[in-house]
Structure 1
């Protein structure tokens, strides 16, 4: 817990509006992808069909969609940013790996890689000064 407090103090001392805008853009992208996945569940089921064991495909599809939608919203407003990103990481790592295991689509690989790198950055950096987390912390 002490490491997180030190990271938050460092991030709040070195923050600017650019990092917060980048956080909002990441959350918006993840939210958009969640909405996009809702319309393409058939494609995701088809992609995961070879590795389906015990009917996990539908659970995975719902996990991906809900994690992107609700996690994206939390990241946008800066509330529980680190836990929201922690739930995103398995999905983003899988998205990068699927491009190497399946058909390589360069734009998907670039999008997933950038989202993964930004997520790792904000996992370390935190939500920043212009966030609900910071407002709640300063209000107490």
Structure 2
């Protein structure tokens, strides 16, 4: 746990302003993918039934799709706003790893597989934001400043 706190502290001290723009774009990408997931659940179900090496029942596939969509929509909004950013990023990481290794890699490792490359880039951006944090242009920063202001002036 000490190592995680040191990484968080280092990231809070070394956060350039342009990373806030990266965080906002990352939140929009994840939010958009969540909306796409919600709007095409039938396509996702068909893919799971055809290509899955796991034995998913119909209900299990529907639950999995809705959990991923919910996590993307809520996590994308939290990352976009910079609220509970590191928690939202950590929740997105297993989903993206699953997308990389179980979904996109089955379509082939070619430069034409744009979904695979998007998943890899988004995962690397998630790791970056997890390390450096939400930045100064975020709800986390605003909450932290207000807490410090109220603690100084009771």
1:42 matches 2:42: yes
Q: How many residues align?
A: 139
Residue of structure 2 in register with 1:80 after alignment? 84
Q: How is 1:1-140 mapped onto 2 (pairs within 5 angstroms)?
A: 2-49=2-49, 50=52, 51-54=54-57, 55-97=59-101, 98-100=103-105, 102-104=106-108, 106-140=113-147
Q: Please, what TM-score do these two structures have when normalized by structure 2?
A: 0.82
* Range that drifts further, 69-78 or 43-52: 43-52
C-alpha displacement of 1:3: 4.4
Structure index of larger Rg: 2
CA contact (8 A) 2:78 2:88 kept: yes
Counterpart Cα distance in 2 of 1:8 and 1:135: 17
Q: Please, what TM-score do these two structures have when normalized by structure 1?
A: 0.89
Counterpart Cα distance in 2 of 1:20 and 1:82: 13
Counterpart Cα distance in 1 of 2:67 and 2:133: 23
Counterpart Cα distance in 1 of 2:28 and 2:133: 17
